[in-house]
Structure 1
Amino acid sequence: MTGTARETVQAYHRARFAGDVPAATTLLGDAFTFRSPMMTADADGHLAGLPGFLQVVTGVDMISELYGDAEATLVYDVHTVLPMGIQRTAEHFRLREGRIESITLIFDATPWHPALAAEGPA
């Protein structure tokens, strides 16, 4: 895969929030890892929860985009239908050979706890 970190990360961000799992998958490296305050996963685990997550998302407002040769950081607000409303989020990407190798998602997970408790055990 070729392309700059900016092109790859922007394509992934668009695909993910459009719910296009196949397109998002093509941008992830073979040894992809995902970490957030609520989970650690490989590509399959990360993308498996995407459809459910998008059911509660009503929009995304980008605040900042920072790009390096093999990394990127996005800061954005996720608008939800849940009581927490807007979730401020920072996301750091590491790339290798034009594909996303890892994502670290940073946000305050505290407002999500009641929503997850209402869902009950998995």
Structure 2
Amino acid sequence: MTSATTRTREAVQAYHQARFAGDVAAAAVRLAGTFTFQSPLISSGDANGHLAGLTGFLQVVTGVEMISELYGESEATLVYDVHTATPVGIQRTAEHFRLRDGRIESITLIFDATRWHPIMAAAAQAESAS
């Protein structure tokens, strides 16, 4: 493994662990100044927007089970199951990272969002009612 690949692995693992531990500050340190995030449900053009919903999401996460980790010099892909306390249950997820100078500049999250749509709609309705 090259030193660039090792740096990629260290950055992505540190980000992943910090995020699922709810440590927004430690996760943010791993993100580049120019950062983008895309998923089937949300997208963000900066780190603050991406991390803003983390606390709420973690309230329904009961565990994370890593399936596969692939690392290159400036990219990485993680495949894992997110266990939730929602009707979704277990969500199989793939996450692709692009890095520059050892920091994550983009994340693309890939999963089937079908079972999340009613949950998101109910949350939006509850928020607008309050």
TM-score tier after normalising by the smaller chain length: over 0.9
- Structure-1 separation of matches of 2:108 and 2:30: 16
1:115 to 99, 119, 130: 119
Deviation of the 1:114 alpha carbon: 1.0
Deviation of the 1:39 alpha carbon: 1.1
Deviation of the 1:120 alpha carbon: 2.6
Structure-2 residue corresponding to 1:64: 68
Structure-2 residue corresponding to 1:36: 39
Deviation of the 1:118 alpha carbon: 1.3
1:13 to 8, 11, 16: 16
Say how many residue pairs are matched.
121
Secondary structure of 2:55's counterpart equals: helix
- Structure-1 separation of matches of 2:55 and 2:19: 9
- Structure-1 separation of matches of 2:39 and 2:28: 18
Cα deviation, 1:16-60, whole Å, max 9, x if unaligned, reads 000000000000000010000011102111100000000000000
Q: TM-score, normalised by structure 1?
A: 0.96
- Structure-2 separation of matches of 1:17 and 1:84: 18
Identify which range, 24-33 or 111-120, moves more after superposition: 111-120
- Structure-1 separation of matches of 2:40 and 2:30: 23
Amino acid at match of 1:117: A
In structure 1, runs of 5+ residues without a counterpart are none
Larger radius of gyration: 2
- Structure-2 separation of matches of 1:40 and 1:118: 20
- Structure-2 separation of matches of 1:68 and 1:16: 21
Amino acid at match of 2:63: G
In structure 2, runs of 5+ residues without a counterpart are none
Q: Does 1:55 align with 2:56?
A: no
- Structure-1 separation of matches of 2:7 and 2:61: 28
- Structure-2 separation of matches of 1:80 and 1:34: 21
- Structure-2 separation of matches of 1:90 and 1:71: 13
2:106 to 96, 102, 107: 102
